[in-house]
Amino acid sequence: MKEKIDFYSLERPIVALKEQIEALEASEDSNRKEKIAALKAQIEKEWEKIVVKLTAVHIVQIARHPKRPYTLDYIGALFQDFMEFHGDRRFADDPAIVAGLAFYKGQTVAVIGHQKGRTTKARIERNFGQPNPEGYRKALRIMQMAEKFGFPVITFVDTPGAYPGIGAEERGQAEAIAYNLKIISRLKTPIINVIIGEGGSGGGLGIGFGDALLMLEYAFYSVISPEGCAAILWKDEGPTAVEQAAENLGLRAQKLYELGIIDKIIPEPPGGAHIDYETTFKNVDKHLHQTLKKLQQLSIDDLLSERYRKIRRQGVFEVKQG
């Protein structure tokens, strides 16, 4: 049986080159610009060899990469004067979702996103990016505030899923997500969603629903994780079953674009978003700004009508008789 190679093994040559770049950037070498450019060209060549080998499981591993930029990284890079809001006014705050107002290209916007945490302590505090019901209710509160004042809404999706704990279920996890979908579908303001890592089922959908769904090239969006799918369908969480589940789920950006689930694929730099934050932020900024300008040209009636048509188009398929 052929041994399966995980993405972390595949990316080792690129990581080594990136470390050389970082060392040069911190040095006072007079020729560092030329040397960095040469190393970046090497990264591109290495990535060309790797990208053809990528399986759906590798895509999942890239999306979950611990060094991948998270919501707060995008907020710090793309927005100004972010003011975070806390609490759902019913139970508590949920650190797994950050939400607030910020300036983007000179205008006020509402920014909401999952946050996993970078250190062990932060991951525990943020529940590994798995929101409780109060997180979704906080997000909706900020969205409704944005509608009241005419601010666009931008969300960043990156979660393994909504938290399935007993307390979360007792406080109405499913109801909170379903209610968000109901209200968001009618909000009279542009809503842009960006999948930056894991798009985990209803946990992602609770804030990942609106007028335009953008997705990073090596993120994934799925009704269930490959591990969960394999465990339910085949009672098997081994690597072969997980790989088959990942392929069958059709979770890659290109497949989702072909199915009309997402509206745009945002390219990532060679090696993935975690290798080059600056290029990733530039790419997201470019497509986010273009999409926002396009949506703001529509009247509210046209915006809501197109949102309704977008919802109705999803899930429609044709069976060809062969």
Backbone angles phi, psi at 80, to 5 degrees: -120, 150
Q: What is the pTM of this model?
A: 0.94
pLDDT tens for 209-267 read: 999 999 999 999 999 999 999 999 999 888 889 999 999 999 999 999 998 999 999 99
Backbone angles phi, psi at 139, to 5 degrees: -60, -45
Distance CA 88, CA 93 (A): 6
Q: Report residue 273 as tokens.
A: 């978003």
Distance CA 132, CA 168 (A): 5
Q: Is 215 left (phi over 0), alpha (psi -120 to 50) or beta?
A: beta
Q: Kind and range of the H or E element at 222? A: strand 220-222
| Structure confidence at residue 31 (pLDDT) | 87
| Structure confidence at residue 30 (pLDDT) | 83
| Structure confidence at residue 321 (pLDDT) | 79
pLDDT tens for 8-43 read: 888 999 999 999 999 998 888 888 889 999 999 999
Q: Is the pLDDT of residue 286 over 90?
A: yes
Across 290-311, average pLDDT: 96
Beta-strand relationship, 191-200 and 220-222: parallel
pLDDT tens for 65-108 read: 999 999 999 999 999 999 999 999 999 999 999 999 999 999 99
Domain 67-313 sits in CATH at 3.90.226.10
| Structure confidence at residue 159 (pLDDT) | 96
Distance CA 86, CA 318 (A): 45
| Structure confidence at residue 322 (pLDDT) | 67
pLDDT tens for 184-210 read: 999 999 999 999 999 988 899 999 999
Residue among 302, 300, 293, 309 nearest 107 (CA):
293
| Structure confidence at residue 2 (pLDDT) | 46
Distance CA 307, CA 187 (A): 10
Distance CA 8, CA 10 (A): 6
Q: Is the pLDDT of residue 5 over 80?
A: no
Could you tell me what percentage of the chain is helix, strand and coil, using 3-state DSSP and rounding each to the nearest 5?
50, 15, 35
Across 53-64, average pLDDT: 94
pLDDT tens for 120-154 read: 999 999 999 999 999 999 999 999 999 999 999 99
Asked whether 71 and 156 are in contact (CB, 8 A), the reply is yes
Domain segments of the chain as ranges: 8-53, 67-313
| Structure confidence at residue 1 (pLDDT) | 36
